[in-house]
Amino acid sequence: MTAQQLAARAGGVRRLAVSLPTECWIVLALALMPFLLLAGGGSVDTAIRILLWGIFGLGFDILFGYAGMLSFGQAAFFGTGSFVTAYLLVSGLVTNFLLAIGAGVVASMLFSVLVGMVALKRVGIYFSMITFAIGELCFFIQHSVLSRWTGGDNGLPGVPHPVFQFGDRSFELASGWGMYAVIATIFVATFWFARRVVTSPFGRVLNATRINPERTLAVGHDVQRYKMAAFVVAAGYAGLAGTLMGIFQSYVGPDAFALDTSGQVVMQTVVGGVRTLIGPLVGAAVWIYLRDILQQIPGIGGMWKLILGALFILAVTTMRRGIVGEIQHVFYKRRMAAAAAAAAATEKLAAFAPAAPPADFFAAAAGTATASPRAAASDDGVPAIEARHIRKQFGGLVALEDVCLSVREGEIMGLIGPNGAGKSTLFRILTGEMPATSGEVHFRGRNITGVGVREACAMGISKSYQIVQVYPELSLRENLLVPLLARQRGAFRFDVMASVKRDGELMKDADRLLAMMGLSDRLGGPVSDLSYGEKRRLEIGIALATQPDVLLLDEPLAGLSPEERVQVVGVIKAASIGRTTLVVEHDMDALFGLADRIAVLHMGRNLAVGPPAEIRENPIVHSAYMGGRDED
């Protein structure tokens, strides 16, 4: 066989490997795992425990990896599922194993709703501490108040194994190969569902919530409901793992509610790789195998915990992405290198092609001002957005005092003022991000004071931020999909069986916006690789993706180079076609050439409103904002 034939065959094998679903490789790995463990001194029962902890870890990876919520109380749901199922089976109240398992899972999920109503009111370390406290509370209740049903320190022994009837014969599913096959099948099914969750529109919004919850809320998603859904799903996985563990062991011990149980699922997920789904299984395999082997070594005794702790510290310091995460990162860098090489080759070929006349990329989706003239602002009728006598006080500091602002339908209005004049505060009040101390905000004649930023976005008010608010871990198209999904699906939808990639119209909308922003050639790679000016254009694209009637831009030219300013001004002109735009900006030359009218704030009060030429010549504005002018 020639070298070319070998290379062709190797390429065919690689293509086959890529085309196979992930679940196929997992099935192959699970088929080999018991034999590898047996060869290394383990057992089939060890393999079963690894799978059960892998199921537990799938839910935790959704919660921590994709929703960004670190819970130290998952043992509460693991224990709830295991004790509910065990009690139903031991007491004889339920004899059907599937019904008993379902009852345990449902009990865990219902309990998580109650816990979530308390814990999800806080974020970060406060959320983690609340879940930790609830986990410890459950451990105490199991040993005291509920000991009559849970057995207290003794736990619940005698949980029967499933018995299947085949005609005249019955088959008991005890520990061993039969149990392993069933648990492995359940693991593959739960992994498939977890993959559907994280790749669905629901999962994409959930991941965006982890990266930038404020921006995700501002484009129209109900962040709290997404977090609650992830919390309940993770509890369901924990409850399922707990029910199966009790059946496998024929016993549920008090350690089901212990802090060690919550701690182990955290450690195995971090060691295996967060946001990988398969990482928790790999982490569980490493953790459980080393724990069992170390305890068998003479002379170690209780030192195995110290050794495992040291290995955990070594793993997280040398492999910050986890085992699976580091492997995925290597392949990712190879793909990026190949893509960069292909792009370089394309540019090299393009250098020999005839030069094309320069094109205005801002005309891609909305047309230019010359091709599609922007409708003139109307002096008649109800204003598009209006602030009436707004006052905002922070303790003893009055940021805004009796501020009135009326923006006409279809106009571009500029808002200027010295630093500290209250421009950004007024913007936050107009978009519902911040309540006013007094006064009202009206949108097309409707009083929307205090409606909230998500509701304001749903009505048709969107904003770009003074400090760029994008999703740096995602691609450009994925950034735009977040607001597009809010426009398409509303504030919340648990559509875990849907697929974003199969929605051709949604992808086309994202590509149109990228063309409008002049970013079509930057599709590959994460947003973190973009320049500041490109990120600014992308953020305006995120605001436009919600299809707002009123667009608010907070210092869109700040920190840009002269060339980038020209590009962003072009984006603003294209974005303003067919909508009302309010712009806060310190670049006077750009804003005076862009806006139909200018409003001036000074020390939190109205100073002047009028056409750019009138404001430019206004001596009060010169005195208050521009430092005055010399008199002849």
Q: Decide if pLDDT at 384 tops 50.
A: yes
Whole-angstrom Cα distance, residue 483 to residue 513?
A: 12
Q: How confident is the model at residue 379 (pLDDT cuts 50, 70, 90)?
A: low
Same domain, 390 and 528: yes
- Strand, coil or helix: what is 253? coil
Number of domains into which the chain is organized: 2
Note whether residue 332 is domain-resident: no
Same domain, 408 and 506: yes
Stretch 467-486: mean pLDDT: 94
Work out the mean pLDDT of the chain and round it to a whole number: 87
Instruction: Report the range out of 113-122, 299-308, 567-576 with the highest average pLDDT.
Output: 113-122
Whole-angstrom Cα distance, residue 225 to residue 223?
A: 6
Q: Decide if pLDDT at 536 tops 90.
A: yes
Same domain, 246 and 395: no
Q: What is the DSSP string of 401-416?
A: EEEEEEE-TT-EEEEE
Read off the CATH number of the domain in which 177 is found: 1.10.3470
Q: Point out the least confidently predicted range of 78-82, 222-226, 257-261, 498-502.
A: 498-502
Q: Decide if pLDDT at 304 tops 80.
A: yes
First to last CA, the chain: 94
Strand stretches in 129-284, DSSP E: 156-157, 163-166, 169-172, 251-252
Same domain, 313 and 393: no
Same domain, 296 and 395: no
Q: Decide if pLDDT at 15 tops 90.
A: no
Note whether residue 54 is domain-resident: yes
Note whether residue 2 is domain-resident: no
Q: When comparing pLDDT for 60 and 170, which is higher?
A: 60
Which one of 320, 338, 359 terminates a domain? 320
Q: When comparing pLDDT for 555 and 524, which is higher?
A: 555
- The structure's pTM equals 0.88
Same domain, 200 and 54: yes
Same domain, 295 and 149: yes
- Strand, coil or helix: what is 387? strand
State which residues form the domain around 410.
385-624
Query: What pLDDT is recorded for position 70?
Result: 97
Query: What pLDDT is recorded for position 378?
Result: 55
Q: Decide if pLDDT at 404 tops 90.
A: yes
Query: What pLDDT is recorded for position 336?
Result: 74
Q: Which two tokens stand for residue 193?
A: 């569902």
Note whether residue 370 is domain-resident: no
Angle at 98 between CA 93 and CA 100, to 5 degrees: 30
Non-local (6+) Cβ contacts of 179 within 8 A are 48, 173, 248
Whole-angstrom Cα distance, residue 416 to residue 587?
A: 9
- Strand, coil or helix: what is 442? strand
Residue pair 584/553 in contact by the 8 Å Cβ criterion:
yes
Query: What pLDDT is recorded for position 31?
Result: 77
Read off the CATH number of the domain in which 527 is found: 3.40.50.300
Same domain, 430 and 287: no
Whole-angstrom Cα distance, residue 376 to residue 291?
A: 74
Query: What pLDDT is recorded for position 346?
Result: 57
Whole-angstrom Cα distance, residue 570 to residue 576?
A: 10
- Strand, coil or helix: what is 578? coil
Quickly list H helices, 469-517.
476-489, 504-516
Give 57-78 pLDDT, tens digit per residue: 999 999 999 999 999 999 999 9
Angle at 212 between CA 443 and CA 571, to 5 degrees: 55
Max Cα–Cα distance, the chain, nearest Å: 114
Give 437-475 pLDDT, tens digit per residue: 999 999 999 999 989 999 999 999 999 998 899 999 999
Same domain, 290 and 428: no
Stretch 269-273: mean pLDDT: 94
Q: Decide if pLDDT at 487 tops 60.
A: yes
Same domain, 281 and 428: no
Which one of 298, 320, 342 terminates a domain? 320
Note whether residue 532 is domain-resident: yes
Note whether residue 590 is domain-resident: yes
Percentage of the chain exceeding pLDDT 90: 62
Query: What pLDDT is recorded for position 370?
Result: 35
Note whether residue 28 is domain-resident: no
Percentage of the chain exceeding pLDDT 70: 88
Stretch 421-448: mean pLDDT: 93
Q: From 468, 576, 43, 612, select the one nearest 293 (Cα to Cα).
A: 43
Q: Decide if pLDDT at 289 tops 60.
A: yes
Q: Decide if pLDDT at 23 tops 50.
A: yes
Query: What pLDDT is recorded for position 29?
Result: 79
* 515 phi/psi in degrees, rounded to 5: -65, -40
Note whether residue 361 is domain-resident: no
Same domain, 303 and 444: no
Instruction: Report the range out of 171-175, 357-361, 596-600 with the highest average pLDDT.
Output: 596-600
Query: What pLDDT is recorded for position 348?
Result: 59
Which one of 302, 320, 338 terminates a domain? 320
Whole-angstrom Cα distance, residue 362 to residue 543?
A: 16
Stretch 266-272: mean pLDDT: 94
CA torsion sign for 131, 133, 136, 138 is negative
Same domain, 286 and 435: no
Q: How confident is the model at residue 630 (pLDDT cuts 50, 70, 90)?
A: very low
Non-local (6+) Cβ contacts of 236 within 8 A are 59, 105, 108, 109, 112
Give 540-563 pLDDT, tens digit per residue: 999 999 999 999 999 999 889 888
How many CB atoms lie under 10 A from the CB of residue 624?
19
Determine if residue 410 is left, alpha or beta; phi over 0 gives left, psi from -120 to 50 gives alpha, anything else beta: left
Query: What pLDDT is recorded for position 171?
Result: 74
Q: Point out the least confidently predicted range of 23-27, 137-141, 426-430.
A: 23-27
Whole-angstrom Cα distance, residue 193 to residue 186?
A: 11
